[in-house]
Amino acid sequence: MSQSAEPPLTDRTLAAPAQGQMAARAGEPRNYVGIVRVAVLVILAAVALTTPGFLSQPSILSLLTTVSFIGCVAVGMTLITISGNIMSFALGALVGATAMVFVLAANWGGFAFGLVAGLAFAAVTNALQGFLIGWLRANPIIVSIAALALIYGVAEAFAAHGTIYAATGTSYAGFKGKVAGIPVEFVVFLCVAAVAQFLLSLTTFGRNLFLVGSSFRAAEAIGVHTWRAVTGAYLWAGLFTAPAGIMLAIRYDAASMNYGLGYEYDAIAAVLVGGTVIKGGEGSVLRTLAGAIVIGVIQVVLVLQGLRTEWQYLIAGLIVLGVIALQTPGTRD
Amino acid sequence: MKRLRDDPHLRPLFVLAACAVGLALVDARDFLTVATAASSLETFATIGLVALGLGLTMMIREFDLSVVGMYSMAGCIAVVMGGTYAWLGLACALAAGLAAGLAQGWLIVRLRLGSVGVTLGGLLVFAGIAYVVTENRALPYENMEVALGLSAPVGGIFSVRSIVAIAIFAAAALVIGLTRYGRDIIAIGSDRRAAMTAGVNVDALVIGIFGFSGFCAALSGALLSYSLASASPAGLSDVIVPAAAAAILGGVSLAGGTGRPLGIAMGVLSLAVLRAGFNAVGAPPYVNEVAMGTILLLVAVLDSTYLARRLQGLVRRVH
């Protein structure tokens, strides 16, 4: 959890110009935000630990799988947020659609084919949006909302009954187990997070992404191919989101657009809680990991306290409002 | 003639004509009926006011994502509070919409925050309240008299709902066309700092427009719930996709500084005719959703900042 308060050295050095400036200008509010953050974490931990059954094994396992599904989408969202495009409203729909593509393809050509088809579908769908946003500089919010409507509309055309079931006889039992006591989902999520952090911290693509996000004009002026960075961010966001859909399909041996409902909101809440800045150019996957754990804990506590899932939107909204109000005051552009 | 062709405010007229002619060519007998006109106006009443509020926030270079949440929440408030007196429920819903809109505007101005972030929080909070109140089911409204009265045809093709929407559009068009508020809004959208220097009360106007946007969303949400005799949380894409598409079709630019209420009204009307036409010719429901998504994507591309530059680059490469 300390990651959220203290970003790792690597991305601080990479995004040095933007962050140095920010710290100099807003040193005071930062400390204040830090205090609020620690206080909230302490309260959350206290509520979680005093909730009966939170530390039981089924509850911890369900926490890990919840965090994994939200986390994969949130890691994808992190790249989009860092690139300066705020968020994508289409990632939840992408989760459902990827699950459907995976089940359809796996029914037709086997598990491996389904895996490839699901990942390719998510990458291409997202990269197309990224291309419109990066190359033409179309508005990212509008493009993602349009993509949301298109994905739902096309899915409805293909699956009139809503749910697609895995063919009888195909069982993904091997992928439902545990590795050393940890759910497979969580292992996949950790791999996704590791790949994303590697991309952001150690590659030219990652460096360009931070540059484009902190100042589009400056990045363009020094000759960065801005559209490649933005398209890449969306492409990778699709690839990181796809595992969530595929794992949901494996878990339920079926796929439906409903599987993805609300994931984009949990993801953006996780990204913002982790401390990635909504206006871009600053952030890390490790922070999002911490944010996803916070959101996961909140959801598991809500369920254990007997509150219905309908409360999740309200809680996510209050979190987003609170974090945004605290985040970098007075640095609107 | 060139001036006419380049005027963005005429764009929706061409689109409207194209929609009508296209659908008439597909199936004139089912499309060219009074029922289609009436159903177009009902859709106009459903998305028009949301598009107007959203369009005004786009004109000052902001974006009010919260309209969808407000739309759902206002419907729930109206149904819960308006059991005995429909006007009481409506008043509560409108007050909530106005207050929530003003509060968001205040946050944006006072804390100097981006409007997308703040209204994203607003969207989730309002939609969350709607989900909690309705328990994710349709909440029935028992007062059937009000429900029937709101949907009853007036003068052949109108209804109370569509008349309210048209009246508010007319009022907004008059205020923006004839008072200095119209010029101030365009000035804020074009160059906020210059507008401030020129003496425009930018902060008050921004807060006011967010209040108006919340009010409009609440009004159409409450009236829709009354006329359907039930309230249920609306999906994000149901309202904001046609509303945003209609505003941009109607000459509003996401870059701010252009647009006017009549243009937005024409944009809404063309989408409403399209939707009514799909129903009239018996197209399955997903056709409408795909069409709305495609239109929004197209107008987003047409409105994009680098479109002209990229096209020039392509032309240069060809030569």
Closest residue on chain B to A142 (Cα): B300
Max mean pLDDT among A117-121, B129-133, B191-195 falls in A117-121
B132-142 pLDDT, tens digit each: 888 878 888 88
In chain B, residues 23-52 whose CB comes closer than 8 Å to chain A: none
Say yes or no to pLDDT of B237 above 70: no
Query: pTM of the entire structure?
Result: 0.90
What's the confidence (pLDDT) of residue B153? 80
Contact at 8 Å (CB) between A201 and A11?
A: yes
* Domain range enclosing A112: 58-326
Identify the band that residue A57 occupies on the pLDDT scale cut at 50, 70 and 90: confident
Q: For the purposes of burial, counting CB atoms within 10 Å of the CB of B78, is it exposed (0-12), middle (13-18) or buried (19 or more)?
A: buried
CB spacing of B290 vs A139 below 8 angstroms: no
What's the confidence (pLDDT) of residue A325? 85
In whole angstroms, give the CA distance from residue B143 to residue B227.
10
What's the confidence (pLDDT) of residue B168? 96
Q: For the purposes of burial, counting CB atoms within 10 Å of the CB of A220, is it exposed (0-12), middle (13-18) or buried (19 or more)?
A: middle
What's the confidence (pLDDT) of residue B29? 77
Q: ipTM for the complex?
A: 0.92
B6-19 pLDDT, tens digit each: 566 677 778 788 88
Q: Min CA distance, B297 vs chain A (Å)?
A: 5
Contact at 8 Å (CB) between A127 and A235?
A: yes
Residues 6+ apart with CB under 8 A from B154: B160, B163
CB spacing of B113 vs A149 below 8 angstroms: no
What's the confidence (pLDDT) of residue B236? 62
Q: Is A169 helix (H, G, I), strand (E, B) or coil?
A: coil
Average pLDDT of span B293-304:
93
Average pLDDT of span B69-73:
93
Each domain of chain B, given as residue ranges in start order, spans 2-318
> Per the domain annotation, does A17 fall within a domain?
no
Nearest CB partner across the interface for B120, out of A135, A315, A320: A320
What's the confidence (pLDDT) of residue B25? 81
In whole angstroms, give the CA distance from residue B16 to residue B64.
26
A69-78, A229-238, A299-308, range with the lowest pLDDT: A299-308
What's the confidence (pLDDT) of residue A319? 87
Average pLDDT of span A318-322:
88
Burial annotation A130-144 (CB, 10 A radius, 16+ → b, else e): bbbbbbbbbbbbbbb
What's the confidence (pLDDT) of residue A167? 80
Contact at 8 Å (CB) between A89 and A208?
A: no
**CA distances for A324 relative to A33, B108, B186, angstroms:** 11, 10, 28
Say yes or no to pLDDT of B120 above 50: yes
Average pLDDT of span B43-66:
94
CATH number at residue A149: 1.10.3470
> Per the domain annotation, does A21 fall within a domain?
no
Dig out the tokens for B100 from the structure: 């929530």
Tokens 């939200």 belong to which residue? A70
- Residue of higher predicted confidence among B213 and A312: B213
Helix, strand, coil shares of chain B as percentages rounded to 5?
80, 0, 20
Tokens 């074009």 belong to which residue? B190
> Per the domain annotation, does A25 fall within a domain?
no
A11-34 pLDDT, tens digit each: 433 444 444 444 444 445 556 777
CATH class of B2-318: mainly alpha
Q: Min CA distance, B156 vs chain A (Å)?
A: 33
Average pLDDT of span A47-62:
88
Give the count of beta carbons closer than 10 Å to the beta carbon of residue B25: 9
Identify the band that residue B3 occupies on the pLDDT scale cut at 50, 70 and 90: low
In chain A, residues 244-263 whose CB comes closer than 8 Å to chain B: none
Say yes or no to pLDDT of A147 above 90: yes
Work out how many domains chain A is built from and give that number. Answer: 1
Residues of A with Cβ-Cβ distance to B117 under 8 angstroms: 86, 278, 320, 324
Average pLDDT, chain A: 86
In whole angstroms, give the CA distance from residue B39 to residue B54.
23
> Per the domain annotation, does A264 fall within a domain?
yes
Chain A contact present for B308, CB below 8 A: no
Q: Min CA distance, B313 vs chain A (Å)?
A: 12
Q: Is B284 helix (H, G, I), strand (E, B) or coil?
A: coil
